[in-house]
Amino acid sequence: MASRIKRRFDALRKEGKKAFIPYIMCGDPTLAKTEELVRVLEEAGADCIELGVPFSDPLADGPVIQAAGAKALAAGVNLRVAIDFVKRIREKTELPLILMTYYNPVFRYGEEAFAADAAGAGVDGVIIPDLPVDEASGLIGSARRHALDTIFLAAPTSGDGRLKKVARASRGFIYFVSITGITGARLELDGGVAGSVSKLKTFSGGKPVAVGFGVSTPEEAGAVASMADGVIIGSAIVKKAASGTGAEFTDYLKKLRAAIR
């Protein structure tokens, strides 16, 4: 059977819609709060959720996600805890859930054991920002055996050769990084994004491409959605959620949802 992520993108395509993919940090500041956030995001129309796994040295992340990760680490969250968390909330939701983790925790866990446990718990995909495709043959093998989608990142600096490699190795969707920078940096959209997205689609035989890094406002989300199959929003949501998940927050989510079309 096709993966949850693929089925979701297929359904969206049929309806002519784009995917809204929020990122939140698992356990920021508590697992109970994350569970509540997942529910709020689903109600607001999220199509997929990226769950960040905290790491001591998050070198691809900006200040907002660094701070969220520090709180989650203090709450005792790690890769195993995040997998158990997904297992628990999987009983309540059919939303595709993706873990975003750095590589060393996966290496330490063991790639095969990680893929087996994550897939078994109901995790649908994994994103590892410091594991480029060239170093990923072991993880890809394990992930395929356990039907866990591997989502790789392509960057504005990637030439055609690398875009092809990333397109081939990705399952579920391809993650295009909108800027040369870290998470939460300021978005500067240029013609390069649409060009790279269209190349990735050609090279992959039509796999969905989602764009993230630096997307913050509904206007930006709308602009990005017009070039891609999905929009990933992390730092802005993490920051807003930290100051309350009430009406103001859900209003922001609704505006994002409406803009991504």
Partner 1 sequence: MKKGYFGPFGGRFVPETLIPALMELEDAYNASARDRAFQQEFKLLARDYIGRPTPLYFARRLTAHLGGAKIYLKREDLTHTGAHKINNALGQALLASKMGKRRLIAETGAGQHGVATATGAALLGLECVIYMGAVDMRRQALNVFRMKLLGAEVREVSTGSRTLKDSINEALRDWTTNVRNTHYVLGTVFGPHPFPSMVRDFQSVIGKEARAQILKAEGRLPGHLIACVGGGSNAMGLFSAFLKDNVLMTGVEAGGRGIESGEHAARFAGGQVGVFQGAKSYLLQDEVGNILGTHSVSAGLDYASVGPQHAFLKEAGRVRYTYAVDEEALNAFEMLSKLEGIIPALESAHALAEAIKLAPTLPAEGLIIVNLSGRGDKDVQEVARIKGVEI
Cβ proximity to partner 1, 31 vs 106, nearer residue: 106
- Select the span of 12-20, 97-105, 197-205, 237-245 touching partner 1 (CB under 8 A): 97-105
Query: Which of 7, 33, 42, 107 touches partner 1 (CB under 8 A)?
Result: 107
189 scored as a contact of partner 1 (CB under 8 A): no
Cβ proximity to partner 1, 46 vs 182, nearer residue: 182
Strands 174-177 and 209-212 come out as parallel
Whether 61 is catalytic: yes
Handedness of CA 52, 54, 55, 60 (dihedral sign): positive
60 scored as a contact of partner 1 (CB under 8 A): yes
Query: Which of 29, 45, 138, 181 touches partner 1 (CB under 8 A)?
Result: 181
The CA-to-CA distance between both ends of the chain, in Å, stands at 27
Residue 94's CB is within 10 A of a number of other CB atoms, namely 11
130 scored as a contact of partner 1 (CB under 8 A): yes
Q: Cβ contacts of residue 28 below 8 Å, gap of 6+?
A: 34, 52, 54, 68, 69, 71, 72, 75, 238, 242
Q: Which is the catalytic residue, given 61, 117, 124, 149?
A: 61
Residue 21's CB is within 10 A of a number of other CB atoms, namely 26
Cβ proximity to partner 1, 20 vs 109, nearer residue: 109
155 scored as a contact of partner 1 (CB under 8 A): yes
Query: Which of 45, 132, 138, 192 touches partner 1 (CB under 8 A)?
Result: 132
Q: How far is CA 99 from CA 29, 104, 186, in A?
A: 17, 14, 24
Angle, alpha carbons 228-177-126 (nearest 5°): 90
Shortest spacing between CB 74 and partner 1, in angstroms = 12
- Select the span of 85-93, 148-156, 237-245, 251-259 touching partner 1 (CB under 8 A): 148-156
Cβ proximity to partner 1, 16 vs 159, nearer residue: 159
Reported as half-sphere exposure (CB side, CA atoms, 13 A), residue 205 has a value of: 6
Q: For residues 233 and 235, what is the distance between their CA atoms, to the nearest angstrom?
A: 7
Which residues carry out catalysis?
Answer: 50, 61
